[in-house]
Structure 1
């Protein structure tokens, strides 16, 4: 599914007001406010960090670090962007620094192709959602996703399985939308190469 084909639900005034109200409550020290923020976004944080590092104990510690940073820097949040994207950016940054400290490559090296040409081809590769929907393919698909480098694994699951729009992923990661599309293209191509001989996935 291409990003243009995926319906993008605009951020409503009510959503923006809810984000701002929660942030203001936390900053004011309202009882239970930070716990409410934690409950609302801990799943997002865990998903991003876990997809990056793939180690439960490290994920747990890094999520704790991420929410400590959220609490410390929440006063810097600007309501022009969704709180979800801002917290996702914190989680991504914490996981990225962890991998860099361990000298774990974030992504495969570019293959020398034209990034914009790849971006234009994102929607023309095999249908990941359809492959995911086939029960007998679940094990193969999960194993294939695990072979991807951390960044590409995270981008792929955010976009295709969590259906996060590319614009929001860009806000979380700081990557240009064209760069994200290029990573998605390479990831889908790699998955196709792994899955095609096993379950007959075709482009």
Structure 2
């Protein structure tokens, strides 16, 4: 019987192979989740020197606890949860905050009526001048996002860049769905206020 290449195997099949002694299959699981892990670590942790060690710690924990994962959620969601908790522990140990404690408690969820995460900037255009303008906007937006609290940066990355659902983000962060929606609303509001304060409307 012909063996299927790792790229076409499901996460569950790859996990079974790892647990059966095929440690090479773990590399495929890393490839499938490293984008999510990188996003979380980079948005939650400001100190660049600590990021590689934290990412390594995440995958060590994933490997160590793989046998206990029962696929009650997507594998990537579980890895995201391990990453989030690892970064949270780091912040607590360094006495750093994920969100300013002066932030008011979330009120009722703000429903935006969308199911698919909307892009924060327009997609690429074929016109070089337009593409350059879009890149400038992307750079401006990225710089503004970095001014947000770590939790807001993280939620924006998960929703707009990783395109995760509210439910998946809630599972990763252990926050209620309504709180995720509310914090995302606040993050966008702060982002807009920062951009309007930093740049003239005609510059954007």
TM over 0.5: yes
Identify which of 48, 56, 73 aligns with 2:65: 73
Matched, 1:89 2:89: no
Matched, 1:24 2:25: no
Matched, 1:52 2:44: yes
For the residues of structure 2 that align with 1:194 and 1:136, how far apart are their CA atoms? 16
Note the residue ranges of structure 1 that are not aligned, 5 or more in a row.
1-16
Please say if residues 100 and 149 of structure 2, whose CA atoms lie closer than 8 Å, have aligned partners that are also in contact. Answer: yes
- What is aligned with 1:6? none
For the residues of structure 2 that align with 1:161 and 1:73, how far apart are their CA atoms? 27
Please say if residues 52 and 153 of structure 1, whose CA atoms lie closer than 8 Å, have aligned partners that are also in contact. Answer: yes
For the residues of structure 1 that align with 2:39 and 2:59, how far apart are their CA atoms? 14
Identify which of 105, 119, 136 aligns with 2:97: 105
Matched, 1:129 2:120: yes
For the residues of structure 2 that align with 1:36 and 1:62, how far apart are their CA atoms? 19
Please say if residues 36 and 162 of structure 2, whose CA atoms lie closer than 8 Å, have aligned partners that are also in contact. Answer: no
Identify which of 111, 114, 125 aligns with 1:120: 111
For the residues of structure 2 that align with 1:101 and 1:73, how far apart are their CA atoms? 22
| Partner secondary structure for residue 81 of structure 1 | coil
CA shift in 2, pair 1:188/1:122, >3 Å: farther
Matched, 1:147 2:147: yes
- What is aligned with 2:34? 42
Please say if residues 50 and 59 of structure 1, whose CA atoms lie closer than 8 Å, have aligned partners that are also in contact. Answer: yes
CA shift in 2, pair 1:128/1:195, >3 Å: farther
Equivalent runs, 1:177-192 vs 2, <5 Å: 177-192=177-192
Note the residue ranges of structure 2 that are not aligned, 5 or more in a row.
1-8, 125-133
Shift of 1:199: 5.2
For the residues of structure 1 that align with 2:196 and 2:119, how far apart are their CA atoms? 12
Structure richer in helix, relative to its length: 1
Shift of 1:153: 0.6
| Partner secondary structure for residue 120 of structure 1 | coil
Aligned residues: 181
- Between stretches 158-167 and 88-97, larger displacement belongs to 158-167
For the residues of structure 1 that align with 2:62 and 2:98, how far apart are their CA atoms? 23
Shift of 1:113: 6.8
